[in-house]
Amino acid sequence: MAANNSMLPKASEYVITTMSDLAKYARLLSQYYHITRGQQDVFLFFANELEKTRNKWASGRGRCLSQTDIEILFKIGDLLTSRSIYRYLSHDSIYDKLARFWSYIRKIPDGAAAEVITGRSGSGQPSNPLDFQKIYAAKASSSLMIKTVIDRNNSGRNDAPLLDLPAILLTIIIRSEAHEYVLGKILQRARDATKDLIDTADLLSVTCKEANMKNGQPVFVTDMRAIRDATAHARFIIENDSTGDFTIHFNNTGYGYSFHKTYSRKELLYFYQDYDRITIIYTRLLIIRTLYSYLNLYFLS
């Protein structure tokens, strides 16, 4: 008699670890401080359903999952791209970006999903954890710094607000390059696979993409890239505002830009928080899409 799926080393490590991590993420979101009781119950329900599917796969043999079992992954993806948590994102336009991103990657054929998302070709073997090492390394090198800023602001006892702005700017410089490189490459491969007209600069922007002139023609970049470039070339100034807090003015007219934006200290923090959250959701959606295709191809009964 064939061994159950938990005895398949590579498949077991991939499926069980990935399903467990997704359930853990759902439980983490259920603890968000603005979430309503009804919203919390939904996330906990999906965490339990993910664990049920994981356990059914582990104890089963071969093609043991129903379409309903596997569809739980797309349902959690739908949940992540909807207004499922009260006051989770500050910029309303992000929900449209999340929905479009999810729509694009859902259209990738199951047989091509692993190669599109990981950038590695394969023939039936489960993928190793997705190639997000650049994102993980950038996060690790800046996590303590940005966490300190967020914790100070949430505590209501921020005795050094001026230090928030350079900490946020440095975090943007560290993380934006990795995010754009990894997610941009995946979206490029998704565009090739689906023939969709995917606007990468728009999808990876918090609010709206920015123009950068190259040889007399506009090349659009993300708003985070525009802030990063303005910061790197010292095209900004920090000033006191009328409330005793601080404001940052970006004024970059060099290197093809005409970028002029002003943020209060808290606006820049909320801008960064939204950027961080949207990139986390994007990576989760890519993980979901890869796992869905693997289970659908090799374990659907």
Q: Identify the weakest region by mean pLDDT among 39-43, 129-133, 216-220, 287-291.
A: 129-133
213 and 117 share one domain: no
Share of the chain above pLDDT 90, in %: 76
Structural domain includes residue 150? yes
Contact 269, 149 (CB under 8 A): yes
Structural domain includes residue 234? yes
Beta bridge partners of 251: 260
89 and 189 share one domain: no
Q: Identify the weakest region by mean pLDDT among 57-66, 155-164, 222-231.
A: 155-164
State the alpha helices, DSSP H only, in the chain.
9-29, 37-59, 67-80, 94-106, 110-118, 133-155, 164-194, 200-203, 223-232, 265-298
How many structural domains is the chain composed of? 2
User: 265-298 vs 67-80: helix axis angle to the nearest 10?
Assistant: 170
116 and 140 share one domain: no
121 and 168 share one domain: no
d(CA 175, CA 163): 19
111 and 229 share one domain: no
- pLDDT beyond 70 at 131: no
105 and 126 share one domain: yes
Between 134 and 28, the higher pLDDT residue: 28
Which of 145-149, 151-155, 187-191 is modeled with the greatest confidence?
187-191
d(CA 121, CA 193): 14
Q: Which tens digit of pLDDT belongs to each residue from 67-106?
A: 999 999 999 999 999 999 999 999 999 999 999 999 999 9
81 and 172 share one domain: no
Structural domain includes residue 76? yes
d(CA 136, CA 180): 13
146 and 120 share one domain: no
Share of the chain above pLDDT 70, in %: 96
List the structure tokens of 29: 């979101």
Q: How confident is the model at residue 122 (pLDDT cuts 50, 70, 90)?
A: low
d(CA 146, CA 73): 31
Q: pLDDT at position 132, please?
A: 80
Q: pLDDT at position 7, please?
A: 82
Between 134 and 238, the higher pLDDT residue: 238
108 and 179 share one domain: no
Mean pLDDT of the chain: 92
Structural domain includes residue 220? yes
Structural domain includes residue 141? yes
Structural domain includes residue 280? no
Contact 110, 289 (CB under 8 A): no
Give the residue from 142, 232, 214, 218 showing the smallest Cα distance to 178.
142
Which of 7-11, 122-126, 158-162, 255-259 is modeled with the greatest confidence?
255-259
Question: What type of residue is 218?
Answer: P
Q: How confident is the model at residue 128 (pLDDT cuts 50, 70, 90)?
A: low
Give the residue from 101, 185, 179 showing the smallest Cα distance to 133.
179
- pLDDT beyond 60 at 32: yes
79 and 173 share one domain: no
Range(s) of the domain holding residue 81: 5-130+286-298
How many Cα atoms sit within 13 Å of 151 on the Cβ side? 6
d(CA 238, CA 167): 13
Q: How confident is the model at residue 199 (pLDDT cuts 50, 70, 90)?
A: very high
123 and 160 share one domain: no
Q: pLDDT at position 236, please?
A: 97
Between 5 and 17, the higher pLDDT residue: 17
- pLDDT beyond 80 at 127: no
Element (H, E) at 255: none
Q: How confident is the model at residue 1 (pLDDT cuts 50, 70, 90)?
A: very low
Structural domain includes residue 281? no
Exposure b/e, 269-288, CB count within 10 A at least 16 = b: bbbbbbbbbbbebbbbbbbb
d(CA 227, CA 230): 5
143 and 67 share one domain: no
Q: pLDDT at position 36, please?
A: 95
Q: Identify the weakest region by mean pLDDT among 117-131, 145-159, 258-272.
A: 117-131
Q: How confident is the model at residue 277 (pLDDT cuts 50, 70, 90)?
A: very high
Give the global pTM: 0.93
